Each structure stands twice: as C-alpha cells, then as structure tokens.
Amino acid sequence: MGLPAGEAAAAFAEVARLDLTELPELDDLHNPTGAIAEAQELAADVWHADKTYFLVNGSSAGVLAMLLATCNPGELILAPRNAHGSFYHALILSGAAPRYLPVAEQNGLPLNVTPEAVEEAFARHPQAKAFFLTSPGYNGICAEVAKIAAIVRSHGALLLLDEAHGAHLGFSRSLPATSGHLADLRVQSWHKTLAALTPGAVLHQHGVRVDQHRLRAAMQLVQTSSPSYPLLLSLDAVRREMALGGEAVADEMAGKARQLRSAVARLLPVLTEADLAPAGFQLDTTRVTVLTGQAGVCSFAAARRLAQLGIDLELVQAGALLAVVGPGFHVKDVKRVVTALSGLTQQRAERNEALPPLPQADVVLTPREAFYCGSRYTALQDARGKIAAATVASYPPGMPLVAPGERITDDVITYIQEASRAGVCFRGLDGDGRIKICGTER
C-alpha cells in the first residue's frame, strides 16, 4: 500500500474494527433476511435485476455459480474464446461441454463476437443449453448484447453474461449503454470499475428461467462460509454511491478518460469508437488501448519503461498497451503518462510484434474429463497431437491458446514459440516451458 508504518497500522485497525462475523444483526450472506437482503434488494433496483447477490470471491465465483446453476454434465454451452479463466474452471466443475466461436479481430487485436457468429454457432449446435458472453471485454469492446440476447432466446437457450468490466456502464450518456438486463444471469466485478474492495462483485438474476434454489446452492458451493464484512460493507457503499450519484461517478470517469485519450493520441495511435463502429462494436472509452504496434513501438519495452516511471498498466498485449481510467484516476496522472509515453515514440521496435492468429480449438474431451484423466508435463515439441490437460493462456487477459481436453496442434506450438519470443508471458507452462498433457504414459 506504500503507507508509512504508523499510518498503515491505523488504516488496518480501522478496517479490523469492521471485520465482524454473522452476529444476529449482521445477517447471513448465504441465507439473508436482514441487512444483507435489504442491501441486495436495493442493488437489484439500481441495476434493473430481479435479484442481486453479493459475491465475496469475485466475479470468478459468480461465473462458477452461473454454470453450476444452469448446465448439467455433458450439456453443450457455446462461448467465444475471449472468456476469462474462471469460465474454463467452471467447465471443469460443471462438466458442461464447450463449443467455441471465433472472436472478430482487427489488426491482431481481438474485438468481440458478432451476432452473425452467434447465429451460425446455434445453427451448428441447436441443442446448446446456454451461451456465455463476455461484454465488455478487457479492452472495453462491447458486443451487440441486445441482438445476441434475441438470438439466444429464439433458440431456447440461456444467456450468461460476464460483465466483470462493465458495472459502470448505463450510468453515463458518454459511455455505451448496457443491455445486460436482457441476460438471464450476469456478473459484475464492482472492485474493477467501481470502488468496492477487492474482490467484491455481484451476480444479477433477470427473469425466472434459472432455478433460484439451484443458483443459491451453487453460490454456497463456491463461496466461503466466512464472508468478509468490510468487503460486504464496501459493496453496499458502492451501491449507495451509484444509486444516489451514479451518473456523476460515470461521467467523471468518462471525462478523465477523454483527457487521457486526447493527450495520448497526440503521441501514439489510440483505439477509438470510430475504429470499431463498422464492425458493429461499441467502445467503453474508459479503456484506453494505445496501438503501439501501429507506431512501430515495442509494447513490452514500452511497458517496462512506464513501470520504471511508476505507471502500471492494466495489460500489455503484442502491439498494444491498455490503460484503465477508474474512479481513482487523477487528472495529474495524465501528465505523467504523457511524459512517459513521449520518450517512446523514439524507441522503435527492434522486431515485428505481430503474432499469428489465435489457433482454432480442436475439442477432444470435455475440460472435466481432461482434468481427471491423469497427466504429465512434456517438452513443447514432443506435445504435437497430444491432448492438453491444462489451460495455456497469456495473462492477462487470459484468453487460452489451448484449454484442457483440446488437441495440441502445430498452430498452438508455433503460437507459443513466437509469442514467447515477442515477450508474451504464459500461464499454464511449467518453469522449463513444458506443457501438461493428458495421460501418464511416456
């Protein structure tokens, strides 16, 4: 936290004072009838939900609960590949069988999924039980949720929406509206774009297509029995702030982002709404994607330089950097970012950062089958044709190159090798760069 020792101790004592437990007046998260029930009802009003549930284990727990509540083992779920890691974990826990859709790309930058791709996926898999959508994505790129919801509904499936990065949308006219209320279930990380304590999040339920009792049981499975009261309090404080002044909060974020965008755009190209409009996507402009690759600047070297100057980015991608303007962003930070970036325009990339397109998934086993089948690590070049036993993903944003149960193709191996050379870090490989495969026999 960087506070002097005395101040840190005082701040900690203040939080510890609130660190209570399920006393009679403090209600019970898993069976709320008092203060927590009331706070959740008030939150449901603000986010137009029929029910809102506070989550003390982040949207990650919400994603697990959404799948556990809706998909039986073996049932099909459709999802674009930009789903967060918790979705792949949810597949292991629930036993659901995934079928993936392509994510539209522009100059190597993953955008989001189009309604056409959703329609095509249902034509191929009409029996799918649910569709899992992530919108906005990490870079703030919003899919056409209303159109997608109508397609999903017309096929009798459920829409599960990961809106972890979108809790602030719908409050400011300067930012895209959200049609998240058209989903059956959606999660939002209030610790990401609003001011809740980490990892405070919520799960909203819309309509009655999902069995509420199974949903509650699923949340009990994946959440602690000792919820943090400081965290619950922070969720209620955010709820109150957004109920009374949400427009001002979101307008302020949009305004600061506008300042940062115009200052950065004088130095380097920045992803804009106009870039995305032809493909039908909208942009949450509080996410500032700096297209370093277009300017011939190496994003990884740039990120290292910014870190030396005390500027931590949300994400470093091949060819792009992502800065996020949250409620705590100060306008004085614009100057620091600009000073740091101005040196970069002279630092041209020594090598081409462009990566091959993400490999197509070749699903052989469900992630759950792969998880239980016994596994071992092997050198990347010896893994060709084998089945992956773990997710390999660049993190963040964590979009998998290969997920448990998928064949390790030439394309997967080439991608990992080229991306590693470009400076991308991977999760899912061991310290020697080996990959986990199904089966224990050598």
Ligand X SMILES: Cc1ncc(COP(=O)(O)O)c(C=O)c1O
**Which residues make up the interface to ligand X (CB under 6 A)?**
58-60, 63, 84, 86, 134, 138, 162, 164-165, 189, 199, 201
Q: Is the dihedral of CA 223, 226, 231, 236 positive or negative?
A: positive
Nearest residue (CB) to ligand X, 86 versus 228: 86
The tokens for 19 are: 């660190």
Residue with Cβ nearer ligand X (40 or 60): 60
Q: How far apart are CA 12 and CA 5, in angstroms?
A: 10
Q: In the complex with ligand X, which residue's Cβ is closer, 134 or 317?
A: 134
Nearer to ligand X, 268 or 322 (CB): 322
The nearest distance, CB 55 to ligand X, in angstroms, is 8
Nearest to ligand X of 88, 380 (CB atom): 88
Smallest distance from ligand X to CB 294, Å = 24
What is the DSSP pairing of strand 76-80 with strand 97-101? parallel
CB 382 to ligand X: min, Å? 32
Q: Which two tokens stand for residue 327?
A: 């409620």
Q: Which is nearer to ligand X, 53 or 138 (CB)?
A: 138
| Residue 106 backbone dihedrals phi, psi, to 5 degrees | -140, 120
Residue closer to ligand X by CB (options 199, 293) is 199
Question: Of 267, 72, 79, nearest to 159 (Cα)?
Answer: 79
CB of 191 to ligand X, least distance (A): 6
Nearer to ligand X, 60 or 179 (CB): 60
CB 148 within 8 A of CB 159: yes
Name the minimum Å distance from CB 410 to ligand X: 29
Residue nearest to ligand X (CB): 58
**DSSP codes of every residue in 402-438:** E-TTBB--HHHHHHHHHHHHHT--EESB-TTS-EEEE
Contact 106, 139 (CB under 8 A): no
CA dihedral 88, 94, 100, 104 (to 10 degrees): -50
> Using the 8-state DSSP alphabet, how is residue 225 labeled?
S
Q: How far apart are CA 372 and CA 344, in angstroms?
A: 48
Residue 427: CB minimum distance to ligand X, A: 13
- Closest contact distance (angstroms) between CB of 133 and ligand X is 10
Least Å distance, CB 103 to ligand X, is 13
Q: From CA 359, how far away is CA 5, in angstroms rounded?
A: 49
Give min distance, CB of 327 to ligand X, in A.
Answer: 16
DSSP 3-state of 125: coil
Shortest distance in whole angstroms from residue 56 CB to ligand X: 10
Q: List, in order, residues 6 or more apart from 323 with CB less than 8 Å away.
A: 260, 264, 287, 288, 290, 313, 314, 337
Short-list 133, 97, 144, 424, CA closest to 276: 144
Q: Is 157 helix (H, G, I), strand (E, B) or coil?
A: coil
**Separation of alpha carbons 37 and 31, rounded Å:** 8
Specify the residue, 284 or 438, whose C-beta has the smaller distance to ligand X. 284
- C-beta closer to ligand X: residue 165 or 261: 165
Least distance to ligand X, CB of residue 76, Å: 21
Name, in order, each residue with C-beta under 8 angstroms of 329's C-beta and a sequence gap of 6 or more: 253, 256, 260
- Given the complex with ligand X, which of 233 and 413 has the nearer CB atom? 233
Compute CA 204 distance to the chain's CA centroid, rounded to the nearest angstrom.
16
Q: Which of 168, 181, 87 is nearest to 132 (CA)?
A: 87
